[in-house]
């Protein structure tokens, strides 16, 4: 089998790029003839189509990337298989996507979202995101590289470090976590809450809003926002430095950081919705806070990024849930349980590590990909 994998290559440390890169690496380690290419490099892609003649072109993205992931390979007679995430609503390209023999999605929740918005679902298979379980491993907090992370953040050995990682923190539920921490602050052991976000104009504005919330709650001295550019070499040690990984995300089609935290043996706090119902096990590997609110839209304005003319208005036949908010009181109770009980943290972390190695190791995902290609497309 010859596979061309489209993703942001060479890969930065973002989620979609890591998703594609780990599939590519897994295929190579299994002896598959595979190459990686950036979806926004049409000349290089055509070059691969002509001399490599791949059996399949796998493209990582969401429905809005249909032009690059699907139509471009089809133009040259090459079979595309998009591997898609969801952004809350599939606005366009249903006819093109329905005509494909196979679409991969990162979770059953993503599949359900695509079906809700007009895909028939018969050509959709779930392929979870892989995790690098050789580098995301349990490490003692006294290990030098881990201890240096905590020292650099100003966290003492006795502090309970709670961590959230994302492009921005609010979308990962950080505001709900801060509200919960303000409720238990005076009763809880000494704690610090670290939000690792990606530096970008939107994030700078959101960080200010989030810190204003922390100040209004009176917990700003314990909340740390860090917006440095980091590589994948650093992230396993940042995960290892925390005691609890908290991300009751507002929108989540897989939850790679939650799964990476599990690989590091960390208990996870999530939300009882979306893909976290698949990747996390409530009471065993994680605590899942209940849904306090669903953000519903009846219409939206879209443009060229979605394949429409500017300011195209879409009215839904029925209201669409596009965002969730976790119960602040559930978060507070679960955080308190984890902060006060080191044995509970250890037990959940060990269960999380076992589950990630079994289901989400990137080599396991690559093997599942090959199985799907054989069963659905007859490619071996």
What is the model's pLDDT at position 374? 97
Reported pTM: 0.93
User: What is the C-alpha to C-alpha distance for residues 68 and 33, in angstroms, rounded to an integer?
Assistant: 22
What is the model's pLDDT at position 312? 83
Q: Dig out the tokens for 309 from the structure.
A: 């003319």
What is the model's pLDDT at position 199? 87
User: What is the C-alpha to C-alpha distance for residues 365 and 380, in angstroms, rounded to an integer?
Assistant: 16
144-359: same fold as 2-130+361-377?
yes
User: Which residue, among 291, 169, 275, has the nearest Cα to 224 in the 3D structure?
Assistant: 169
What is the model's pLDDT at position 90? 86
DSSP of 103-171 = EEESSHHHHHHHHHTT---TTEEE-PPPB-TTTS----TTSHHHHHHHHHHT--TTSEEEEEEESSSGG
What is the model's pLDDT at position 193? 98
Give the residues of the chain that fall short of pLDDT 70: none
CATH of domain 2-130+361-377: 3.40.50.2000
User: What is the C-alpha to C-alpha distance for residues 303 and 96, in angstroms, rounded to an integer?
Assistant: 18
Eight-class DSSP state of 102? -
What are the Cα distances from residue 25, in Å, to 28, 41, 73? 5, 20, 22
User: What is the C-alpha to C-alpha distance for residues 66 and 181, in angstroms, rounded to an integer?
Assistant: 42
Kindly tell me the sign of the dihedral angle through the C-alpha atoms of 63, 66, 69, 70: positive
User: What is the C-alpha to C-alpha distance for residues 271 and 291, in angstroms, rounded to an integer?
Assistant: 7
Cis upstream peptide for 10 (omega within 30°): yes
Phi, psi dihedrals of residue 104, rounded to the nearest 5°: -105, 140
273 phi-psi bin (left φ>0, alpha ψ -120 to 50, beta other): beta
311 phi-psi bin (left φ>0, alpha ψ -120 to 50, beta other): left
Rg from Cα positions in the chain: 21
Place of tokens 């700003």: 220
Q: What distance, in Å, lies between the first and last C-alpha atoms of the chain?
A: 5
Upper half-sphere CA count for residue 127 (Cβ side, 13 Å): 31
Domain residue spans in the chain? 2-130+361-377, 144-359
Q: State the fold for domain 144-359.
A: Rossmann fold (3.40.50)
What is the model's pLDDT at position 313? 86
User: What is the C-alpha to C-alpha distance for residues 326 and 187, in angstroms, rounded to an integer?
Assistant: 22
Eight-class DSSP state of 43? H
Whether 366 and 27 have beta carbons less than 8 Å apart is answered as yes
197 phi-psi bin (left φ>0, alpha ψ -120 to 50, beta other): beta
User: What is the C-alpha to C-alpha distance for residues 162 and 153, in angstroms, rounded to an integer?
Assistant: 12
């Amino acid at each position: 089998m010859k596979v061309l994998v489209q993703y942001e290559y060479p890969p930065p440390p973002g989620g979609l790029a890591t998703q594609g890169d780990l599939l590519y690496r897994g295929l190579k380690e299994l002896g598959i003839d595979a190459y990686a290419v950036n979806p926004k490099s049409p000349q290089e892609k055509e070059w691969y189509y002509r001399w490599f003649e791949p059996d399949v072109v796998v493209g990582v993205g969401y429905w809005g990337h249909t032009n690059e992931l699907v139509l471009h390979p089809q133009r040259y007679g090459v079979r595309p298989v998009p591997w898609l995430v969801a952004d809350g609503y599939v606005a366009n390209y249903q006819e093109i996507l329905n005509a494909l023999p196979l679409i991969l999605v990162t979770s059953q929740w993503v599949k359900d979202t695509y079906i809700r918005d007009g895909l028939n679902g018969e050509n959709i298979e779930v392929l979870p995101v892989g995790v690098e379980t050789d580098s995301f491993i349990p490490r003692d907090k006294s290990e030098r590289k881990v201890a240096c992370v905590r020292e650099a953040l100003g966290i003492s050995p006795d502090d309970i470090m709670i961590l959230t990682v994302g492009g921005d923190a609010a979308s990962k539920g950080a505001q709900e976590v801060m509200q919960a921490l303000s409720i238990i602050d005076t009763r809880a052991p000494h704690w610090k809450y670290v939000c690792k976000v990606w530096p970008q104009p939107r994030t700078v504005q959101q960080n200010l809003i989030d810190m204003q919330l922390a100040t209004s709650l009176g917990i700003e001295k314990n909340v740390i926002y860090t917006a440095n550019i980091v590589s994948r070499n650093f992230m396993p040690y940042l995960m290892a430095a925390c005691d609890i990984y908290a991300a009751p995300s507002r929108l989540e089609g897989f939850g790679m950081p939650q799964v990476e935290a599990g690989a590091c043996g960390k208990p996870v706090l999530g939300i009882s919705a979306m893909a976290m119902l698949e990747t996390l096990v409530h009471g065993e590997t994680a605590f899942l806070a209940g849904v306090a609110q669903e953000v519903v839209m009846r219409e939206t304005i879209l443009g060229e990024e979605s394949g429409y003319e500017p300011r195209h208005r879409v009215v839904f036949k029925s209201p669409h849930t596009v965002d969730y908010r976790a119960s602040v009181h559930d978060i507070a109770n679960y955080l308190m349980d984890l902060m006060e009980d080191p044995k509970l943290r250890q037990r959940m972390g060990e269960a999380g590590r076992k589950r990630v190695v079994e289901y989400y190791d990137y080599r396991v995902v690559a093997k599942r990909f090959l199985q799907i290609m054989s069963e659905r497309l007859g490619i071996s």
